[in-house]
Amino acid sequence: MSRILVSNDDGIAAEGLAALARALEAVGEVWVVAPEREQSAASHSLTLHKPLRVYEAGPRRFAVSGTPTDCVNMAVHELMPGPPEVVVSGINRGANLGDDVTYSGTVSAAMEGTLLGIPSVAVSQLFWEPADFTAAADFAAALVGGLLEGARGGRRLPEDTLLNVNVPDLPADRIAGVRWTVQGKRRFTKEQVIEKVDPRGRKYYWVGGSELEWVGNPDSDHTAVTAGCISVTPVHLDLTNHKALETLAGWNMEWHGRRYSR
């Protein structure tokens, strides 16, 4: 039976994690290794300057006093009897679309899995109150089942590539479809940082409180979820802008007589 590692950034007690783990039980042997506390927007950070503690929360269930990246490392190198066949992160409470993937702890757990050479998937659901993760969990189980079956036939995810899944806040029968998408782009506005004054008369700031505007790319993750579709974006960990290399070489820059070359 395939071993599946489940992690997240909302913490071990999150409902989205429980829903995901439950749905994946039908697909393989589920191991849960998740942060003991919420680590949303932890990005790809690693704990280097303090010890990590592990708490056993049940059979094949562990809480770690660190980040999502720490959890995947601890699971693969320490807690599991061998590397999992797939890493699944989520289900995050809230979307991870466009540029937000660079802040996301949910996506970073999948990044760490990918760096370790394990096929990895991040699953997020748009905000929904009260949260119902049924459709997202069902989709995740079907997708992961498909990946595992594909791998048995030699069909693997492209190298250095994770799948970033975003599910609209709709019941399954109202989800319009599933789209392969590109990472969307936000327009940053000044209201991103809100200035207020505390009871002692000192200024403080609140980041990311305003409504987001999106660049209207028809192929984007944001466009897909807005149309009621599940978005699946292949995210590549090679951050090099390969097209830019040619342009930059044409700038003929130099340092102490040495031309920048390729």
Residues contributing to the site for Mn ion (CB under 5 A): 9-10, 40, 92
Nearer to Mn ion, 9 or 169 (CB): 9
Tell me the closest approach of the beta carbon of residue 123 to Mn ion, in angstroms.
11
Locate 234 and state its tokens.
Answer: 């292949």
Rounded least distance, CB 79 to Mn ion, Å: 22
**Three-class DSSP category at 105:** helix
Between CA 157 and CA 224 the distance in angstroms is 22
Nearer to Mn ion, 40 or 73 (CB): 40
CA distance 230 to 180: 9
Q: Which residue is nearest to Mn ion (CB)?
A: 40
Residue 63 near residue 57 (C-beta atoms within 8 A): yes
CB of 233 to Mn ion, least distance (A): 17
Looking at beta carbons only, is 40 or 183 nearer to Mn ion? 40
Q: Which is nearer to Mn ion, 122 or 157 (CB)?
A: 122
Q: Count the Cβ atoms, other than its own, within 10 Å of residue 260.
A: 11
Closest-CA residue to 35 (of 89, 86, 76, 83) = 89
Structure tokens given for 235: 């995210």
Closer to Mn ion by CB, 28 or 98: give it. Answer: 98
CB atoms within 10 A of CB 18: 17
CB of 43 to Mn ion, least distance (A): 11
Q: Which lies closer to Mn ion via its Cβ, residue 91 or residue 232?
A: 91
Please, what is the minimum distance in Å from the beta carbon of residue 102 to Mn ion?
14
Instruction: List residues bridging with 179 in a β-sheet.
Output: 231
Nearer to Mn ion, 35 or 168 (CB): 35
CB–CB of 184/223 below 8 Å?
yes
Strand residue runs (E) in the chain: 3-7, 29-35, 54-58, 61-64, 86-93, 120-125, 161-167, 177-180, 186-187, 193-197, 203-207, 213-214, 229-236, 254-255, 258-259
Position 250: which residue type? G
Amino acid identity for residue 76 in this structure: V
Minimum distance of Mn ion from residue 10's CB (angstroms): 4
Min separation Cβ 92 and Mn ion, Å: 4
